[in-house]
Amino acid sequence: MEESDIAFVNELDKDSIETYDQKTLKTNIPGFDALFVNGGLPAGSAVMIAGGPGTGKSTFCRQICYNRISEGKRCMYVSFEENKEKIMKSMKTFGWDIKEYIDNGQFLIQIINPLDVLRMKFGSLGGSGSATELSSKIKPLVIPKDFHPDVIVVDSLSAIIAASITKEKNYRIYLQQLFSFFEETGATSLLIAETDPLPTRFSDSGIEEFLADGIIVLYNVQKQQGRVNAIEVLKMRYGQHIKKIVQMNITNTGIVVNPEQPVEIQF
Amino acid sequence: MEESDIAFVNELDKDSIETYDQKTLKTNIPGFDALFVNGGLPAGSAVMIAGGPGTGKSTFCRQICYNRISEGKRCMYVSFEENKEKIMKSMKTFGWDIKEYIDNGQFLIQIINPLDVLRMKFGSLGGSGSATELSSKIKPLVIPKDFHPDVIVVDSLSAIIAASITKEKNYRIYLQQLFSFFEETGATSLLIAETDPLPTRFSDSGIEEFLADGIIVLYNVQKQQGRVNAIEVLKMRYGQHIKKIVQMNITNTGIVVNPEQPVEIQF
Amino acid sequence: MEESDIAFVNELDKDSIETYDQKTLKTNIPGFDALFVNGGLPAGSAVMIAGGPGTGKSTFCRQICYNRISEGKRCMYVSFEENKEKIMKSMKTFGWDIKEYIDNGQFLIQIINPLDVLRMKFGSLGGSGSATELSSKIKPLVIPKDFHPDVIVVDSLSAIIAASITKEKNYRIYLQQLFSFFEETGATSLLIAETDPLPTRFSDSGIEEFLADGIIVLYNVQKQQGRVNAIEVLKMRYGQHIKKIVQMNITNTGIVVNPEQPVEIQF
Amino acid sequence: MEESDIAFVNELDKDSIETYDQKTLKTNIPGFDALFVNGGLPAGSAVMIAGGPGTGKSTFCRQICYNRISEGKRCMYVSFEENKEKIMKSMKTFGWDIKEYIDNGQFLIQIINPLDVLRMKFGSLGGSGSATELSSKIKPLVIPKDFHPDVIVVDSLSAIIAASITKEKNYRIYLQQLFSFFEETGATSLLIAETDPLPTRFSDSGIEEFLADGIIVLYNVQKQQGRVNAIEVLKMRYGQHIKKIVQMNITNTGIVVNPEQPVEIQF
Amino acid sequence: MEESDIAFVNELDKDSIETYDQKTLKTNIPGFDALFVNGGLPAGSAVMIAGGPGTGKSTFCRQICYNRISEGKRCMYVSFEENKEKIMKSMKTFGWDIKEYIDNGQFLIQIINPLDVLRMKFGSLGGSGSATELSSKIKPLVIPKDFHPDVIVVDSLSAIIAASITKEKNYRIYLQQLFSFFEETGATSLLIAETDPLPTRFSDSGIEEFLADGIIVLYNVQKQQGRVNAIEVLKMRYGQHIKKIVQMNITNTGIVVNPEQPVEIQF
Amino acid sequence: MEESDIAFVNELDKDSIETYDQKTLKTNIPGFDALFVNGGLPAGSAVMIAGGPGTGKSTFCRQICYNRISEGKRCMYVSFEENKEKIMKSMKTFGWDIKEYIDNGQFLIQIINPLDVLRMKFGSLGGSGSATELSSKIKPLVIPKDFHPDVIVVDSLSAIIAASITKEKNYRIYLQQLFSFFEETGATSLLIAETDPLPTRFSDSGIEEFLADGIIVLYNVQKQQGRVNAIEVLKMRYGQHIKKIVQMNITNTGIVVNPEQPVEIQF
């Protein structure tokens, strides 16, 4: 067998590899960054924010956005279901007024109508085009030219998959393309994943959790004293972290994590 | 890539956004409004009222309607299964005489025959029409001109979905359109959802609970002393609430919630 | 949008609505009627009698029939599986001799051969006929002219559905038509439903239990002292009832319910 | 609607109905008949003998056959999987020598090759023939003319269904025809049903257990002292019985039931 | 109906039936034969050797082969996945040198490439050929002429089914043909079945365990002191046996069963 | 039947079989090799490295690669999802600088774009070509000529199967071909398998775990003190091993196994 047989090895990866130190994204959610040895999320990662209904997934991501844009960064929030007004109203209830950041272009809320995505033509996989051509067609969202977001939130991953991917035999491969897309943006991606209340799987297919760089799970569990919110870093590539489920409060001014207060959950 | 590529971003949302204070809808169900920091449901929300058979879902919604119309508001009750006479009879057993409100037009009971819905032609998604044209076709119920209800009850969400949506690959997108429809009415929507007796999912697809703004769960659980009714606010966007399962009694005069009496449930 | 758009609202319901007092059907099964505040089943309801094999569902319904016809009422028993002779024999073992009531026309046992139902042509839903025409075709059983039964037993609901309804996308709508049919007879319908021994759902589809006005569950559970029979009113529209699982004995003379003896069941 | 519309009511059942006393079939399996108030199985019933692998189902049925033919009765054993030699060998290990009864025609072992059943043409349901014509085609086994067996064993029901019934929408109706066939033979039918080791359902479809007149469950459960065999009468129409799971031993001379020794099973 | 109608009764079984004493196959696995009253497996049976990954199924069967060929018997080992070299290497690690027995023809290892089986044409069931013709085509493996093995091992039953049987409506009938094939060889067949670690079913279809004459289950369970191997005779036609799960060690020189040491397993 | 009928027996295996001593591959992961009697993995085996998200599967395999190439061996790492830069970065965080080994050709990281695999044409099974021709087409990855790796890591087995195998009736046979491919390379293959967090099955099909020579399971379980990592050798052909779940720490310098510290897991 000849070396020349390796037609499908990606030659582009052979060039210019250099190791670099892992950059860290501080979320400034009280108590949350302390869960990581490096004091924050590994920058540039694609992280699933997973949880059942009412666990605070959207609030968690919006708080990170607010904290970042307050420091002058750019963020992009992609919503499939809530409109811009409702998102603004919801953030206002925590005291996060984002109107000025929308006006000055720091915060971009992109409302996507799933009907529009349906109408787009995706290149059919396995066709004659080159890999580059193909991947350019599998872009479920468009980042404006010269807008380089620090954080991209997708609310929700479940919705973006429903709108852009047919459940068929090539499902995993489409997903790999989707995660590659987020990776290539250079931004830290927070991908909201809708799960059962006490999830042991984090997606219908059981595949997304292996493709993601990290998984943060939000819980809303019944205790004798009532429902309790909790948070856990279940997986994080490129960053060491505390391996505990800890308490989380959703207060008037946003989420507060108590990294010292473990929460026991019976799965 | 050019800014002009963002064809499918909904441009309509860019205009005239203004934040506003969250309005509250007082249900006046004894003990229930005390579960919310603001003293009632966030007005304008789409709230699932979920529970197994015999948990009091219909009674809960009818009591809210009766309380609102007693205060001069307008309500609309959409029923797929019980006829108007049975609904009136059922409400009468709690002492709620609605005849006068039906006559003066405050209370509109709409009985929908699923066969009629089947006969309607829905625009096929992904067709050539504009998004506006499409969404105008996905209206499973019709609100009379100049009738602006304060509360809309759909009894049941399961029935409306069965009658109007085919379970196919675009299922989630149809659901998003349906929830958008309710949102655009401006009314608070109470959507009755039929579940297993101890639900951890609130719909067959597991999608509806993420699209809804809120989920209120009604329980009917076996305790040593017999069956006990209970209620829980599991999720509520735009409104903080007590996170406990609390006791609920279905009395001769309607539902009474005891916000101080927690109920333990083994899921 | 014009008022005239509401084509599919059932106009017939707008006429002549009058509230009336709930009538009660006394079963005269010892101890059973005491489970209801009004001392019996709400007359005119469609009630599922649900339970696993060997729980006494048929006996329960036959005892009610016998008690009613003994008081001069008319009853109709629709059987898909046992023939008339076996039903008579089975009732005889409890001392219920029904021969005279069959002869004088008070008790009508209708044996339906599922093969015959299969041969009938049902109107296809969504066709061009009016709703009235359609529903007239979905009559899985025929009540003789001028025979107005007090109670109709269907043994079993599972069988009637298997014989008359194709499991397809319009399944729920067919079921709604079926329940409407029973409601329109004016009789109290007892619909035997075959379930798992410790049911939390009461039908394959999970739909029937929401369409029915009431659910009575029969249990046959293993206790340390052996199998124990028990009964529970799980749901009953238009009638308040005791919310407990209570003991039930199948004696030589029929079923005896002990409303004071709760039975604990581990689901 | 006219009386003449009731075309599909089985007219044959209207004639010559007479009640009669329930006859009893004594099995003479030590301890087993004592489980019934009448001292044996209701004669003429179709009884499922259900259990997991290794629970003694075949032995139970063969012992009844041996006991009956020893008393001069005729029995028929239909086997789909074991051949006649193996059945004789197996019975010999318990001391039951059936050679003379085969020779004198009292005991008929019918080995059915499923391939042969497959080759038979069944009348298609819903066709133009009369019900009588149809049912005459759905005869999966043939009883020789003038051979009137006291007991028919089908080893197994699962096999006969696999060979003669296609799993399709009319599955329940085919099953009803099959059970009618057994009922019409006049014999007591013992239908071996293969289940999970601790069954709560007794067939794949969950239908057979409702069509059968009786269900006898055999257990083979792990206890601290090892595996224990047990037996239970779960359901029996036309006959009162003890409602307990009791111990059963498979000895050198056949099955011995201990009706006084309850066995606790954790389902 | 005429006697002549019984076309599909297997006439061949009517001839020359004679009872005989059950022969016993001693495995000589230390401690194992003591589980049987007759001191070994019933010769000529088709026995499933079932267990999860890492439970010692292959080792168990190879040890029996080695013990038999050491005593001058012939054995045949059919492997779908491991090649002859690996099987020899694996047996060598227990001190079982089989080279001489392969050379002298006592031990036949047959490696089957599933691709070759796929290429064979099977007679289509239900065709016009006679039963004899059909069954002669369903031979997934070929035993050389004049080679009469004492033991046949199939490693694995799962593999042979995957290669030769399409999962379709006639699945059970194909399986019955397959088990008939083994029975007709006259050898004792050990059929390795891949299961879940704590199996309650022993095949995907739940059918094989009822067709097999015996089931031996191997366990590999987590105990406080670590993983423990155990063995159980769950079912054995034509042979009485101890009904306990007992300890089993996989030592340097092969499997040793401790029939006196019960192992408790929480299913 | 003639000997010549055995057309599908693989004749190639008949030649030149010689037994040999089992070679051992020392991983040099602290504490891990002590789990094996021979002090390491059986060389040349195909071993599944199974576990849920965040259990350290990739780290485990990369550490073995780093240890081997540090000793002058060659390794090949096949990745379907992470690119070469991210793999290098990830290994650097543990202090494993692989740049020099990539440059000198000892460590080959092969990034496979699943889209490219999709485009390859596989020979259709059951076609006319010989077995040799067919198997040469089912090569999902290509090892450069004259590069003889000591260890091959496939990250992940799930991804390689998704890209190269259609889930169809011949699924098991394709898998057998895939495992044969790895065996024929002569290298020890580490095949990463994505599972549920507490797996009892190690693949969707439940087949891979039986085809693999070994299974190593990584756990990430919730304990009162937080999440704990653990490791277990569940199955290993050709090598005896300790049968316990033991603690494993993921430290700054890589994985450390504590073979003396058992971890109890409630499945």
pLDDT at B76: 97
> ipTM exceeding 0.85?
no
Locate all alpha helices (DSSP H) within C166-254, ordered by sequence: 171-185, 208-211
A and C touch with 3+ CB pairs <8 Å, answer: no
Interface contacts (B, C; CB < 8 Å) = 127
pLDDT at C48: 97
* CB within 8 Å of F12: residues ≥ 6 apart: none
C112/D215 CB distance under 8 A? no
pLDDT at C216: 97
pLDDT digits (tens, 9 = 90+) for D111-122: 988 777 665 544
pLDDT digits (tens, 9 = 90+) for B56-98: 999 999 999 999 999 999 999 999 889 999 999 999 999 999 9
Residue of chain B whose Cα is closest to the Cα of C234: B54
E8/D222 CB distance under 8 A? no
E84/F17 CB distance under 8 A? yes
Of the partner residues A134, A237, A242, the one whose CB lies closest to the CB of residue F90: A237
B33 neighbors B27 (Cβ within 8 angstroms): yes
pLDDT at E166: 61
Of the partner residues E80, E89, E145, the one whose CB lies closest to the CB of residue F176: E80
Residues of chain E with C-beta less than 8 angstroms from the C-beta of D88 = 17, 19
Residues of chain F with C-beta less than 8 angstroms from the C-beta of E142 = 1, 5-6, 9
Residue B223 burial by Cβ neighbours in a 10 Å radius (0-12, 13-18, 19+): middle
Radius of gyration of chain E (CA): 19
A88/B234 CB distance under 8 A? no
Q: What's the mean pLDDT in F190-218? A: 91
Mutate to test the interface with F, among A1, A6, A12, A13 (most CBs of F within 10 A): A13
D158/E169 CB distance under 8 A? no
- Give phi and psi for F42, each to the nearest 5: -65, 120
pLDDT at B181: 87
pLDDT digits (tens, 9 = 90+) for A40-95: 999 999 999 999 999 999 999 999 999 999 999 999 999 988 999 999 999 999 99
Residues of chain B with C-beta less than 8 angstroms from the C-beta of C200 = 52, 196-198
Residues of chain A with C-beta less than 8 angstroms from the C-beta of F80 = 176
**Number of Cβ atoms within 10 Å of the Cβ of F21:** 9
- pLDDT reading at C128 higher than 60: no
pLDDT at D127: 38
D216 neighbors D233 (Cβ within 8 angstroms): yes
Q: What are the tokens at C113? A: 């051969």
E17/D84 CB distance under 8 A? yes
Q: What are the tokens at F45? A: 């085996």
Residue D91, CB-side half-sphere exposure with 13 Å CA sphere: 26
Å between A10 CA and nearest CA of chain B: 24
- pLDDT reading at B12 higher than 50: no
* CB within 8 Å of B152: residues ≥ 6 apart: B75, B76, B77, B78, B143, B182, B185, B187, B188, B189, B190
pLDDT at C137: 47
Residue of chain E whose Cα is closest to the Cα of F178: E81
DSSP helix/strand/coil, D175 = helix
C244/B226 CB distance under 8 A? yes
Compute the distance between CA of residue E205 and CA of residue E221 in angstroms, rounded to an integer. 24
A89/B238 CB distance under 8 A? yes
Residues of chain F with C-beta less than 8 angstroms from the C-beta of A264 = 224
- pLDDT reading at C165 higher than 70: no
E3/D226 CB distance under 8 A? no
pLDDT digits (tens, 9 = 90+) for E188-216: 999 999 998 888 888 888 889 999 999 99
pLDDT at A16: 32
Residues of chain F with C-beta less than 8 angstroms from the C-beta of A6 = 142, 144
* CB within 8 Å of E218: residues ≥ 6 apart: E49, E50, E51, E55, E56, E57, E60, E229, E230, E231, E248
F115/A177 CB distance under 8 A? yes
Residue of chain C whose Cα is closest to the Cα of D16: C85
pLDDT digits (tens, 9 = 90+) for D223-237: 877 889 999 999 999
pLDDT at E198: 85
Å between B239 CA and nearest CA of chain A: 8
Compute the distance between CA of residue E152 and CA of residue E190 in angstroms, rounded to an integer. 6
Residues of chain C with C-beta less than 8 angstroms from the C-beta of B198 = 200
Residues of chain E with C-beta less than 8 angstroms from the C-beta of F8 = 112-113, 116-117, 119-120
**Number of Cβ atoms within 10 Å of the Cβ of C251:** 10
Residues of chain C with C-beta less than 8 angstroms from the C-beta of B102 = 17
D215/C145 CB distance under 8 A? no
Of the partner residues D89, D145, D250, the one whose CB lies closest to the CB of residue E20: D89
pLDDT at C118: 61
**Of B267 and F249, more confident:** F249
C142/D6 CB distance under 8 A? yes
pLDDT at A172: 84
Compute the distance between CA of residue F243 and CA of residue F239 in angstroms, rounded to an integer. 12
Of the partner residues A169, A206, A209, the one whose CB lies closest to the CB of residue F166: A169
Å between D5 CA and nearest CA of chain C: 8
CA torsion through residues B26, B29, B33, B39, sign: positive
A22/F198 CB distance under 8 A? no
Residue of chain D whose Cα is closest to the Cα of C161: D172
High-pLDDT (> 90) share of chain F, %: 55
Compute the distance between CA of residue E163 and CA of residue A248 in angstroms, rounded to an integer. 54
High-pLDDT (> 70) share of chain B, %: 81
Tell which residue, B148, B147, B134, has the closest CA to residue B180. Answer: B134
Compute the distance between CA of residue A209 and CA of residue F57 in angstroms, rounded to an integer. 14
Q: What's the mean pLDDT in B133-142? A: 52
F135/E115 CB distance under 8 A? yes
E89/F22 CB distance under 8 A? yes
Compute the distance between CA of residue D54 and CA of residue E48 in angstroms, rounded to an integer. 13
Subunits in contact with chain E (3 or more CB pairs closer than 8 Å): D, F
C198/D202 CB distance under 8 A? no
Q: Which residues of chain A have pLDDT under 50?
A: 1-20, 121-138
B118/C134 CB distance under 8 A? no
Compute the distance between CA of residue C54 and CA of residue B164 in angstroms, rounded to an integer. 40
Residue of chain D whose Cα is closest to the Cα of C252: D240
Tell which residue, C113, C112, C187, C180, has the closest CA to residue C147. Answer: C187
Subunits in contact with chain B (3 or more CB pairs closer than 8 Å): A, C
User: What are the beta bridge partners of residue E257?
Assistant: E248
A215 neighbors A192 (Cβ within 8 angstroms): no
What is the H or E stretch that residue C83 is in? none
Q: What's the mean pLDDT in D161-175? A: 74
High-pLDDT (> 90) share of chain C, %: 55
Compute the distance between CA of residue D265 and CA of residue E12 in angstroms, rounded to an integer. 44
Compute the distance between CA of residue C253 and CA of residue C255 in angstroms, rounded to an integer. 7
